[in-house]
Amino acid sequence: MRRVLIVFMSLLLFVGCNNKEGLKGQSTAVDKSENISSTSNSNQKDIVDKKNENGIVTIQDIANWNHPTKSVFESYGFKIQKVKLLKNNQYPIFYIDGTQKKDIYGYSFINKIAEKNSYWDFKIVSNEKYNEIYCDQKQKIVLKSVNDKSITDYTKNDFFRFNGKWYDQSFIKSENGINSIELEFKDNGKDADAYLVSDTPLTGRAEIRTIIHFDDKGYGKFNFDDKYGNAGTGDLNIVDDGFYVETKLTKIKNKEKGFIGHGSYVREYGFVNIKKSYEYLVNKLGIIDNNKGMYVPKTDDDVYLDYEGKDEKSRYIFGLRRCSDTVIVCWYHINPISLEYETEN
């Protein structure tokens, strides 16, 4: 096999808490969350205009208030009138100028707000219009929108759940390289802005920015060219909770440097857990792994571990393969949290 390829919490950098209870109730444009207690942070006293008896902080001095979400609102033409911080200053409600006839429901817009808000829940209010957004911090995705018009579950709507950053899992064995893909789906749920990075000691660093169109079955195609003068095409196939990328060079100017992004991609937290499980098994079993994610030495006496997927208990499966013919001689099922494992011959 050959593959080359906390949030510091202060009032300035607030984040909304995962209030999944809100999914059960009916929302209104009127802010009825005043009875939810919170505490203020003294670091922001200079711009906190009001704090009521329940600890809810209101920020009205928007001109002197700085937060990454502010630039997103401004880039979309919105004027923020005030911000309320609830639930220990972790749930922001953005009140925007209601005279502006702009769309507060678009996925691209709310996804950018979610990203700058570290994928914590939040709410946007514009007169009688409102949009409550629920996120998953672990996966770094927007889960659901509950607003005055409709309820949208983005995990079931086309391919929105694949928004965000993904990593080539074959690089769990490499200390000095990484392949990653970042997808940002447009409102139609079929086209995505894509940012692809291939960075290894052997091939150098190549960055690709392109648009990928997906069909109904989850197949996407894209074209690319890199700074080394190479060009090619790529296929991205969505499979279960990840996707597989294949690339083909159509123009070769530099045979040693360039973009090589093919591989199986997983979420960042999945990549970290797979890597941790892999390193644990290698050290625990005393396996001499000569693969390193870039090559397999064809020596009869050598073996290597390969990640094979998940079992029905969500444990990671690793196959111990012979380098000579890649035949699996043993399976390991490992819990990425407890690192307990079972052997299957």
Q: Residue 32's pLDDT is what? A: 36
Claim to verify: residue 26 and residue 143 sit in the same structural domain? yes
Q: Residue 52's pLDDT is what? A: 63
Contacts (Cβ under 8 Å, ≥6 apart) of 2: 294, 295, 296
Mean pLDDT of 123-149: 91
CB under 8 A, 24+ apart: contacts of 214-219 = 214/158, 214/159, 214/190, 214/238, 215/190, 218/159, 218/243
Higher local confidence (pLDDT), 308 or 133: 133
Task: List Cα–Cα distances, 244 to 34, 46, 161, in angstroms.
Answer: 47, 50, 16
- For residue range 85-111, list pLDDT tens digits in order: 998 888 999 999 877 677 898 888 898
Residue ending a domain, choose from 225, 251, 268: 268
Contact 336, 323 (CB under 8 A): no
Residue 33 scores a pLDDT above 80: no
Claim to verify: residue 146 and residue 167 sit in the same structural domain? no
Domain annotation covers residue 100? yes
Contact 259, 226 (CB under 8 A): yes
Domain annotation covers residue 6? no
Q: Residue 47's pLDDT is what? A: 53
Q: Residue 98's pLDDT is what? A: 74
Residue 145 scores a pLDDT above 60: yes
Q: Residue 121's pLDDT is what? A: 95
What does the radius of gyration of the chain's CA atoms come to, in whole angstroms? 24
CATH code for position 198:
2.40.128
Claim to verify: residue 186 and residue 144 sit in the same structural domain? no
Domain annotation covers residue 319? yes
Report the number of distinct structural domains present in the chain.
3
Claim to verify: residue 276 and residue 251 sit in the same structural domain? no
Residue 131 scores a pLDDT above 50: yes
Q: What percent of the chain has pLDDT over 90?
A: 27
Domain annotation covers residue 2? no
Give the relative orientation of helices 107-116 and 68-75 as an angle to the nearest 10 degrees.
Answer: 160
Mean pLDDT of 113-131: 93
Claim to verify: residue 187 and residue 122 sit in the same structural domain? no
Domain annotation covers residue 5? no
Query: Is the sign of the CA dihedral 110, 113, 118, 121 positive or negative?
Result: negative
Claim to verify: residue 251 and residue 291 sit in the same structural domain? no
The domain of 299 spans: 269-344
Residue ending a domain, choose from 153, 176, 201: 153
Domain annotation covers residue 14? no
178 burial type by CB count under 10 A (0-12 exposed, 13-18 middle, 19+ buried): middle
Residue 315 scores a pLDDT above 90: yes
Residue ending a domain, choose from 89, 120, 153: 153
Domain annotation covers residue 3? no
- For residue range 245-261, list pLDDT tens digits in order: 988 889 999 888 888 77
- For residue range 15-24, list pLDDT tens digits in order: 333 333 333 3
Q: Residue 202's pLDDT is what? A: 81
